[in-house]
Amino acid sequence: MLKAKIISTGSYVPSRRLTNGELEQMVDTSDKWIMERTGIRERRIAAEGENTSDLAYEAAVLALSRAGISASSLDIIIVATITGDMPIPATACFLQNRLNATQAAAFDINAACSGFLFGLSTANAYIKSGMYKRILLVGAEALSRFTDWEDRNTCVLFGDGAGAVILEAADGQSGILSVDIHSDGSYWELLNLPGGGSKYPPSEEAAANRLHYIKMKGNETFKVAVRTLEKLVIDALEKNGLKSSDIALLVPHQANLRIISATATRLGIGMDKVMVNLDKCGNTSAASIPIALDEAATSGRIKENDTIILEAFGGGLTWASAVIRW
């Protein structure tokens, strides 16, 4: 049966590292608190003038060159982001232009931290239906531009970066086995960026009220995340007739080490089977899974025929999982 297969990956993070020690100088926090509560040691910050599409471009160029294909052969470009260059046009259009991917239709997806997996669901459906054959999917974020550097509840969490995959139609055993996406808008208040849309358009008042920064009720989000993710991954395994012991590697959204290890414990898998890089990157929202996936694939942690699980949870609220035979 026709499947969508990830034929290559790429990622890019900006060179500037922001350490917990530096954050101690900016807000009332400590390296100890951040490490114990999140597992984050440092995060990357985009340079002035380096925008989301620039991060996406670097990751995409790497994925294209590893696949040995040219951008002009792409049918579709999807960018999952909540921090696009501008409200209009889509960041995917900036990327399409820079890549000179003249044949590709390009659009963005907003599902916050689950955005990459919502994009994967879309790409999977396009390819399985036979509608399109070759898709570039990128998760890219410049969260630092929307981070309130005076709010210790959120500013210690986020980082910038991008990860990309190329998907193609394939006939064999390997490819995407399932992608499941979910939303519950009744929880919208737990995690949002209120300003800049039609509800609170840009204004001096909105700026004075700091509405253009990400707000999160961290502890409440944490509790829903742990509860939801445990069931999500077990459901994904069951759907494919798999057991926890079949998992070669779990690649979770990198929000909090405690959330990640709670999921691993519930599944009964060791942390040696879990990809973790949030210590170096922080929470990069839609970019976190493809960055971690690229690191796992290029460092030899994923081998051909391995069963890989991806899972994410984020604003919306949204959550999603994917099962892949590599």
Burial 250-285 (b: 16+ CB within 10 A, else e): bbbbbbbbebbebbbeebebeeebbbbbbebbbbbb
Q: Does 281 bind ligand UT7 (CB under 6 A)?
A: no
Query: Which among 57-65, 99-107, 213-221, 240-248 is the span making contact with ligand UT7, rule CB under 6 A?
Result: 213-221
Backbone angles phi, psi at 174, to 5 degrees: -90, 155
Q: Out of 93, 113, 155, 281, which one is annotated catalytic?
A: 113
Q: What backbone torsions phi and psi does residue 51 show, to the nearest 5 degrees?
A: -105, 175
To the nearest 10 degrees (0 to 180), the angle between helices 91-99 and 52-67 is 50
**283 is annotated as an active-site residue:** yes
Out of 51, 192, 277, 283, the active site residue is 283
Q: Which stretch binds ligand UT7 (CB under 6 A): 117-125, 127-135, 255-263, 290-298?
A: 255-263
Q: Least Å distance between CB 203 and ligand UT7?
A: 28
Region of 112 on the Ramachandran plot (φ > 0 left; ψ -120 to 50 alpha; else beta): left
41 binds ligand UT7 (CB under 6 A): no
Residues in the chain: 326
Select from 222, 289, 321, 325 the one that contacts ligand UT7 (CB under 6 A): 222
**88: burial class by Cβ within 10 Å (0-12, 13-18, 19+)?**
exposed
Q: Do residues 52 and 142 make contact, with C-beta atoms less than 8 angstroms apart? A: yes
Rounded least distance, CB 152 to ligand UT7, Å: 4
User: Which position's Cβ is nearest ligand UT7?
Assistant: 218
The answer to whether 160 and 13 are in contact (CB under 8 A) is yes
Interacting residue with ligand UT7 among 264, 314, 318, 323 (CB under 6 A)? 314
Active site residue 93: no
CB of 82 to ligand UT7, least distance (A): 10
User: What is the Cα gyration radius of the chain?
Assistant: 19
Give the Cα separation of 34 and 95 in Å (integer): 34
Structure tokens at 152: 């210790």
Q: Is there binding between residue 37 and ligand UT7 (CB under 6 A)?
A: yes
Minimal distance, residue 31 CB to ligand UT7, in Å? 10
CB of 219 to ligand UT7, least distance (A): 4
33 binding ligand UT7? (CB under 6 A): yes
Q: Is 256 a catalytic residue?
A: no
Residues 126-165, one symbol each (x = binds ligand UT7 by CB under 6 A, - = not), give: --------------------------xx--x---------
Q: Is 182 an interacting residue with respect to ligand UT7 (CB under 6 A)? A: no
How is residue 146 written in tokens?
Answer: 């929307």
Q: CA-to-CA distance for 137 and 37, rounded, in angstroms?
A: 31
Distance CA 214, CA 44 (A): 17
Query: Closest CB to ligand UT7 among 113 and 135?
Result: 113
Reduced to 3 states, what is the DSSP secondary structure of residue 255? coil
Min CB(115)–ligand UT7 separation in Å: 11
Which stretches of the chain bind ligand UT7, using CB under 6 A?
29, 33, 37-38, 113, 152-153, 156, 191, 218-219, 221-222, 225, 255-256, 259, 283, 313-314
Q: Which residues are catalytic?
A: 113, 253, 283
